[in-house]
Chains A and B, each alone.
Chain A
Amino acid sequence: MILMTHALEIRDLRFSYPGMPPVVEGFNLSLAEGEIGCLLGSSGCGKTTALRCIAGLEPVHGGEIRFRGEIVSRPGLTVPTEERRIGVVFQDYALFPHLNALDNVAFGLRALPKPDRRKRAAELLAMVGLPGSGAKYPHELSGGQRQRVALARALAPSPRLLLLDEPFSNLDGDLRERLSLEVRGILKAQGTTALLVTHDQNEAFAMADTVGVMRKGRIEQWDTAYNLYHRPTSRFVADFVGEGAFIDGLASDSDGIDTVLGALKHCPGCELKPGMPVALLLRPDDIQHDDAALLKAEVVKKAFRGAEFLYTLRLDDGKQLLSLVPSHHNHAVGEKIGIKLDVDHVVAFPRAEGADD
């Protein structure tokens, strides 16, 4: 069966704390060998709990978790964490303060004889870019260096699956982006299957092959970063990923939408019926500034982003839109500017009659 080739396969997972509504429910996921997945969501969506269930740090109350086809968790069965052959990079790194970097990395290599252990640990430290730092203790390392040691430690025993819990959240923005790309490179070079948990879209998009947007304990959409942004399958995902605004429209036929800004064609997957009210997603790059355009909108807010301005615009009917405009077009708040639609990916969702926004 195809299922058995998956490095990680989760079906209908459920977890709840006693006397509380489930934190994770109806959770499904599969990762192919060598794939890097990511659970993306705001705090409290259950992503960390799901990760802890996969690690075997929490029991599950419904569904099952399989590693390469082998059941590791189901109600009444939790293979202990230490028997799962996984690696975990913790949010606060959890380096052992009484051991130096080399001994931390060598900690999980108990099967090897001592000289081999040290050799392998040194190799891993070199691989994460810290050759020669083995004698340093965790408190002597910077945040980014601790992160690297934590990664080396988790990778040392060659785990079947690497789990990363908000691994970059304690780092500065610049370092965060650089490290996430670097870590992706290391994992891909090793062919490691990995699952990352984060609330940061940039981190998710930089690291993962596939990203699952989580909401209320389940995965709302499991897809590539590109599709999450341009082909969101639900309004929640459309709202959560990237920026944008919704405007009202009416389906003109099975593949077209009329709006106050004009008519649009090609809405794959929208399942439109003529006359159906829809909410149309407009990304800031879907709306272009054009002085010649007849359609005008008032500048309500503006945020300078270096190369561009992000303008918040108000249409005559009061609807607000976002528009990304090259920053040499510097308009004042209150000014009316011309805009036109330039939509590559039409995304629309059915709208209940009379419902606003």
Chain B
Amino acid sequence: MQALDTTRGAPRETRKPGLRLWNAAAIAIALALIAPIAVVGANLFVPGGGAWAHLSATVLPDYALNSLALVAMVATGTTVVGVACAWLVACCEFPGRRALEWALALPLAMPAYVIAYAYTDALQFAGPVQSSLRAAFGWAAGDYWFPEIRSLPGAAAMFVAVLYPYVYLLARGAFLEQSPSLAEAGRTLGLPPWQAFFRVSLPLARPAIAAGAALACMETLADFGTVSYFGVQTFTTGIFRAWLSMGEPVSAAKLSMLLLAFVAVLLAAERLARRRARFHDAPSSRRRSRVTLSRRAGTVALATCLAPLAFGFAIPAAMLARLSLQGGDEQFGARFATLAANSFFLSSITAVIAVALAVVMAYGARISRSPVGAAVNRVAALGYAVPGAVIAIGVLIPAARLDNLLADAAGSLFGISMGLMLTGSLVALVYAYLIRFLAVALQSVEAGLARITPAMEDAARSLGLGPSATLARVHLPMMRSSLVTAALLVFVDVMKELPATFVMRPFNFDTLAVQAYNLAADERLAEASTASLAIVAVGLVPLIVAARRMVKPEAPTAP
């Protein structure tokens, strides 16, 4: 027996071989993804000098106040619109409800800066709306008051129009999960339907609504295109000004940290709200019965739901289409093809890498069965809350230093002058995208993995497969649709991303988003419309797929 001990039971790893590797890979990825954010944070302690003193004395209060005002307006607007639509769709029955259920998510395909261009063109002095008003009433310039779209409230309206689906989707889910007997219990206790909604259903859905509003606010804070186009001074425009116009990386980093502080508050609120949401009562197995609305009430409900869909999607899409048909033609051809190819290339390469990394991280956390793995993934997912501008600063500061070091070394060692290798390279840009959008892939992949019972890997292991072979032969085939969803969502997000692309793209390397922004900034809105429309069109396909799946939950793992 002793002999057997030494020959066959020779010292081996306690844990399964390969497990360490999976863990190490997951941790390495997470560290790489949060490093730039740490770089930005470190700059908080670098003395800012005169430029920072000047900034903080003059424009900083404006940045803070404008950002706060925007967030407050967006939170209110998205909550009202999102909750109203969610409740109608979840609790009432009226013509068109089924189609609206997923169509209400469509504005998510519209970047805020794109509808900003569309509405500006339509509502400006020379635009069709004001022109026809003047023609109809015989007014001249200055005879009448017309709201200025390019203002802070205008920007808030743009955000509400495209971001309300965050609240809508989460609130709808919460309403559907509530046991119908809760509201019915309210009714039996003497509450009329409306009060049953305000006193029972709404309070129960509050955590979900808060989470949705927090997500919408995070997107608002991350925006650069809209506020910059509308001339609203916020943290993101400030960061870019400090970085690009003033050449003040330290000030840009300090502004970034302040912006991050805002985001952190929202993120904490979102996490807290979601955790509370989990404690609510278990979904009822009973089928929900919807209140069938009378014909008149049904028409009102339909109109209520169609309005946000129209303002957030249909109207701007139609205006863009009209613009590009009328004046966008010079955009087509070789130049446009190059832009589209650039966008497609960046988006697909990021999507593939993001999904691969997400699989490594999610699977590593799953098989290690340790809370550490899950925590590491949560940290890596934080990048989604970090505005693209901040990530850009975090990547560019160390990249520039590294470039200088490399250039100096190459110069002194080999006597050659090499340009900047990292700054303005595609590698740095894709890296920045990954920091921001890995969470999107991770969420889909984790959801797909969670649908596979742990007994599946136990079974595969008992049949002689190691962890990697198990992943390849069991998990990946079983979660194929989740992987596709993950890739599509990342693809669309990269396609729409503006601020990071704007500062980090290689020289002379433009994408659809950058082109749309540049043309719009030059007031060439008609020309900007083609690129904008292309971004929306590309985003639409996966959004419809994902939204329809969200609305009609996937059947459990059929082959």
A59, A95, A139: the one within 8 Å of B558 (CB): A139
Is A323 in contact with chain B by the CB < 8 A criterion?
A: no
Is B460 in contact with chain A by the CB < 8 A criterion?
A: yes
Q: Flag if A70 contacts B9 (CB, 8 Å).
A: yes
Q: Flag if A71 contacts B4 (CB, 8 Å).
A: yes
Is A97 in contact with chain B by the CB < 8 A criterion?
A: yes
CB B456 to nearest CB in A, in angstroms, measures: 6
* Residues 144-166 of A at the B interface (beta carbon under 8 Å): 153-154, 157, 163
B8, B17, B458: the one within 8 Å of A55 (CB): B458
Interface size class of A (residues with CB under 8 A): 35 or more
Is A57 in contact with chain B by the CB < 8 A criterion?
A: yes
Is B141 in contact with chain A by the CB < 8 A criterion?
A: no
Question: Which chain A residues border B474 with CB–CB below 8 Å?
Answer: 96
Question: Which chain A residues border B4 with CB–CB below 8 Å?
Answer: 4, 69-71
Question: Which chain B residues border A71 with CB–CB below 8 Å?
Answer: 4-5, 8-9
Given contacts A69-B4, A78-B15, A81-B458, contact A94 B453 (CB under 8 A): yes
CB A63 to nearest CB in B, in angstroms, measures: 14
Q: Flag if A88 contacts B459 (CB, 8 Å).
A: yes
Closest residue on chain B to residue A90 by CB atoms = B455
Is A272 in contact with chain B by the CB < 8 A criterion?
A: no
Q: How many A-B contacts are there with CB distance less than 8 Å? A: 99
Question: Which chain A residues border B455 with CB–CB below 8 Å?
Answer: 90-92, 94
Q: How far is the CA of A147 from the CA of B218 in the complex (A)?
A: 50
Is A137 in contact with chain B by the CB < 8 A criterion?
A: yes
CB A152 to nearest CB in B, in angstroms, measures: 12
A1, A87, A91, A100: the one within 8 Å of B1 (CB): A1
Given contacts A81-B462, A108-B464, contact A92 B8 (CB under 8 A): no
Given contacts A74-B9, A81-B461, contact A4 B466 (CB under 8 A): no
Q: How far is the CA of A230 from the CA of B306 in the complex (A)?
A: 76
CB A24 to nearest CB in B, in angstroms, measures: 17
Most A CB contacts (10 A, CB to CB) among B9, B12, B456, B473 go to B9
Closest residue on chain A to residue B10 by CB atoms = A77
Q: Flag if B458 contacts A94 (CB, 8 Å).
A: yes
Question: Which chain A residues border B559 with CB–CB below 8 Å?
Answer: 97-100, 137, 139
Closest residue on chain A to residue B479 by CB atoms = A98
A74, A77, A157: the one within 8 Å of B464 (CB): A157
CB A93 to nearest CB in B, in angstroms, measures: 8
Q: How far is the CA of A289 from the CA of B462 in the complex (A)?
A: 53
Q: Flag if B1 contacts A4 (CB, 8 Å).
A: yes
Is B189 in contact with chain A by the CB < 8 A criterion?
A: no
Question: Which chain A residues border B73 with CB–CB below 8 Å?
Answer: none
* Residues 118-177 of B at the A interface (beta carbon under 8 Å): none
Closest residue on chain A to residue B458 by CB atoms = A57
Given contacts A69-B1, A139-B558, contact A78 B462 (CB under 8 A): no
Q: Flag if A80 contacts B466 (CB, 8 Å).
A: yes
Is A107 in contact with chain B by the CB < 8 A criterion?
A: yes
CB B455 to nearest CB in A, in angstroms, measures: 4
CB A10 to nearest CB in B, in angstroms, measures: 15
Is A110 in contact with chain B by the CB < 8 A criterion?
A: yes
* Residues 429-481 of B at the A interface (beta carbon under 8 Å): 453, 455-456, 458-466, 473-474, 477-478
Q: Flag if A97 contacts B478 (CB, 8 Å).
A: yes
CB A11 to nearest CB in B, in angstroms, measures: 11
Question: Which chain A residues border B9 with CB–CB below 8 Å?
Answer: 70-72, 74, 77
Question: Which chain B residues border A154 with CB–CB below 8 Å?
Answer: 462-463
Closest residue on chain A to residue B18 by CB atoms = A80
Is A260 in contact with chain B by the CB < 8 A criterion?
A: no
Is A306 in contact with chain B by the CB < 8 A criterion?
A: no
Is B16 in contact with chain A by the CB < 8 A criterion?
A: yes
Q: Flag if B458 contacts A90 (CB, 8 Å).
A: yes
What are the 4 A-B residue pairs with the smallest beta carbon separation, nearest first?
A108-B463, A94-B455, A71-B9, A81-B461
Chain A to chain B contacts (Cβ below 8 Å), 20 pairs: A3-B1, A4-B4, A55-B458, A69-B1, A70-B9, A71-B9, A76-B11, A77-B12, A77-B14, A80-B17, A81-B461, A83-B464, A86-B462, A87-B463, A92-B455, A94-B456, A95-B459, A97-B559, A98-B559, A154-B463
Q: A71-B4, A110-B464, A154-B462 are in contact. List 14 more A-B contacts (CB 8 A).
A: A56-B461, A70-B4, A72-B9, A80-B16, A80-B466, A86-B462, A87-B463, A88-B462, A96-B456, A96-B459, A98-B557, A107-B460, A137-B559, A153-B463
